[in-house]
Amino acid sequence: MSFGRKPSHDREPAEPAARPWRSLGMIANSMLILLFVLPIVTSASIFLAVNFQLWKGFGSFDPLSWRIERAHNENGVVSGDDPEQLKALYRKLQSMTASRDAAQRSDAVHIVFQFFEDRAPHRRVNLDLSDIGDAAAVFVSDRPVMWGIEGAAGIRAKIGFEGPFAFDLDNAHDGLLAGFRVGVFGAGGTASPQDYIEFRKGRAQMHTVCSAVLRWQRYFGVDKTRVFVWSVRNAQQIVVKDRSVLVDGRSNPDFRGIARTCTRWN
């Protein structure tokens, strides 16, 4: 016995046959997709193929060469310096540079601004490090210098260099060099002896010099009270001692008070 409405035994109505316009719509949508996608795929393929051929035609990108050439021509004037020779010199000096951990073992740093009054395109200066003790020294020169190293046996990360011009080391062992910042190698904002001369003339020069002084103070990890600045002219031999710098037998302290001024900066 059942309650409620009598169940119906009629069949459900059949789905109407698919209308032809649905198939046509699907075909039309597919054609539209092809019309939009095919040009994009074709263009991307051509772009990749052309650039692959160009990439094969050029040498690999060399960041060092790019930095040197940019610094070399930054004023729009091409000089006679050979970027390939500068690159080789950079790599030689980099291979001679100790780790920063080794530089952090110093307890004082001498910043030496070096001037030459002749017209020689480059100079040679003998650098005696036999009495440097626990100090380090950074040299800022107004032209390229070949440094003849003396008395450096067994010491590491004792000397650094900054300035617009390249430098080279003679009779130096690997690890003696603590670091360098050189304009022709691509470093920006390097200090120069001219900035030292014009230290009191403008804030820009003061900022450049003090930035260099404090940068090396932090690099060597010494206290600000252990930073000494020296002015050197026409040196043929420089002797770096623990607490002084002698130039051809004379001491040339900084009478401008740059070390005292810069170490007050934050």
Chain centre to alpha carbon of residue 140: 18
Query: What pLDDT does 78 receive?
Result: 47
Q: CA-to-CA distance for 221 and 75, rounded, in angstroms?
A: 35
CA distances from 127 to 118, 200, 226, 229, 240 (A): 20, 30, 21, 17, 8
Q: Are 111 and 192 in contact (CB under 8 A)?
A: no
- Non-local CB neighbours of 32 within 8 Å, separated by 6+ positions: none
CA distance 22 to 24: 5
pLDDT value, residue 61: 53
Helices and strands, number each (H, E), in the chain: 7, 11
DSSP 3-state assignment of 1? Answer: coil
**How much is the pLDDT for 239?**
95
Contacts with 250 (C-beta within 8 Å, 6 or more apart), sequence order: none
pLDDT of amino acid 25? 64
Q: Is 126 exposed, middle or buried (0-12, 13-18, 19+ CB in 10 A)?
A: middle
For residue 19, the model assigns a pLDDT of: 58
Q: Which residue has the tokens 């080391």?
A: 169
Q: Per residue of the chain (266 residues), give pLDDT as tens.
A: 444 444 455 555 555 555 565 666 666 666 666 666 666 767 666 666 655 554 444 445 566 666 666 655 554 444 556 778 888 899 999 999 999 999 999 999 999 999 998 888 889 999 999 999 999 999 999 999 999 999 999 999 999 999 999 999 999 999 999 999 999 888 888 999 999 999 888 889 899 999 999 999 999 999 999 999 998 889 999 999 999 999 987 767 776 678 888 877 65
- Inter-residue long-range contacts of 214-220, CB under 8 Å, 24+ positions, other chains counted: 214/262, 214/263, 214/265, 215/181, 216/109, 216/111, 216/138, 216/160, 216/162, 217/109, 217/263, 219/100, 219/103, 219/160, 219/178, 219/179, 220/103, 220/104, 220/106, 220/109, 220/136, 220/178
